[in-house]
Amino acid sequence: MYSEKPLAERMRPDDLGAFFGQPHLTGNESVLKKGIESGNIPSLILWGPPGSGKTTLARIIARKGDRPFYQLSAISSGVKDVREAIEKASNSRFFNRPRPLLFIDEIHRFNKAQQDSLLGAVEQGVLTLIGATTENPSFEVISPLLSRCQVFILKPLENEELKEMVKEALRRDIWLSTLNVRVEEFEALLRISGGDARKLYNALELVVSVEVDREGEKKEIVITDKKVMEYIQQNIALYDKDGELHYDIISAFIKSVRGSDPNAALYWLARMVEGGEDPVFIARRLLILASEDIGLANPNALLLAQATFDAVKSTGWPECRIILAETTIFLALAQKSNSAYLAVDKAIELVQKSGDLPVPLHLRNAPTSLMKESGYGKGYRYAHNYEGGFTDHQFMPDQLSNVAIYHPTDNQRERESRELLARLWGKRYGYKAPGEQKESGDPAPES
């Protein structure tokens, strides 16, 4: 008796007792579970990878509190849809009845105007908002809305949890439970799922369906890694924007740009374009790369990346593929420098090791006569009063007075910086002009 509903939908739990994973959120002492049981649930954002249970949690919350439940997808909904949902929620409120719940899937895809349209209803208590997102809400949800929501982080499901979900589906599902299915090997199922319950159920259902078509329902179905890989590779797309390949391809893309290979970079960009990747995600990674890997070798790279980020948000697919391609080629061919990246990390490391070192007296502000009498600001030399607008002053704390943090790399722009540093600060920090011995920077971490 095969159901038209996907297995993932058939196995969606109705209460926390049947919910797999996220023990930090669903355990007996967790804030969220206590809130669900008491019915005192604030507006919240559920942040986690696909298939981790965000939608299921929202529905359990609504069911447990006997709340009217309205659901929107940010991919297909606009401001009009939001306003209609708010109006329905407002009209469904009755005396002493819990507030309606509005669930917005992929809320990070809403623009500022769409998110703004939610503020009034959330502030006035017309409804309880639950937003689900796979992206960091600090970057994707506007501050006024984020400040009115509590954020809960969901994690990818663990292998043991996924195994139990397979066993539970074979025991309880309306169709699978009628078959003689035995899982001999789990590794391929677990690998394909990548901690995503939906992918796990889809893979399981696909493999069983193919086996039933081949062998019939009465014969024992044995699931092996070989069968899983054979059937799945015949049926899934080459790019999965929510799974492991998503991270592998963006990694290959970034490393190709960093490695100054525009051909490889464009190939990986095309893979993401064809796979329907979120263009804002690609633009954000280029923005990070422009500062991390090109940096001071070509400061215009950051300006272009920022303009690209803004333009992509305004245009979207398919036109923004051209903008992304232009920026990808420019960044791939730009000279590279990670000197600022290494310098700020070294500065942070110094702060962590040395603690709160006192500011030298001559650099302190002296707004009162008492501070002046105490030596605040005494001996400070105003740079503009000296030739070339420079004076060899000590600006670091005494304990770090000769520690060099920034080390220019060997590119055209930073060679000029090295010459200037050698002329101004060679004696204090040990900088040498180009052609002399080069300071060694710390290696960059793998990213």
CB 253 within 8 A of CB 265: yes
Q: How many CB atoms lie within 10 A of CB 221?
A: 21
**Neighbouring-strand partners of residue 73:** 105
Q: Which CATH code, of 3.40.50.11540, 3.40.50.300, 3.40.30.10, 3.40.50.2300, is assigned to 22-153? A: 3.40.50.300
How many other CB atoms are found less than 10 A from the CB of residue 418?
Answer: 22
According to CATH, what is the number of the domain 159-235? 1.10.8.60
Going from the C-alpha of 144 to that of each of 116, 122, 123, the distances in angstroms are 8, 11, 10
Listed by start position, the domains of the chain span 22-153, 159-235, 244-333
- Which pLDDT tens digit goes with each residue over 356-414? 888 888 777 777 777 777 777 787 888 888 788 888 878 788 788 888 888 888 887 78
What does the block give as tokens for 160?
A: 């043991």
1.10.3720.10, 3.90.550.10, 1.20.272.10, 2.60.40.1180: CATH of 244-333: 1.20.272.10
* pLDDT for the residue numbered 327: 94
CB count, 10 Å around CB of 443? 8
Q: Along the 447 residues of the chain, how does pLDDT read in single tens digits?
A: 455 688 999 999 988 888 999 999 988 888 898 888 888 889 999 999 888 999 999 999 998 888 889 999 887 888 888 999 999 888 877 666 788 999 999 898 888 888 999 999 999 888 999 999 988 898 889 999 999 999 999 999 999 999 999 999 999 999 999 999 999 999 989 988 888 898 899 899 989 998 888 877 778 899 999 998 888 765 544 445 555 566 778 888 999 999 888 898 998 898 888 777 788 889 999 999 999 999 888 999 999 999 999 998 887 777 888 999 999 999 998 989 888 888 888 888 888 888 788 888 877 777 777 777 777 778 788 888 878 888 887 878 878 888 888 888 888 778 888 887 788 888 888 888 877 654 444 444 444
DSSP string covering 396-433: S-GGGTT-------SSHHHHHHHHHHHHHHHHHH----
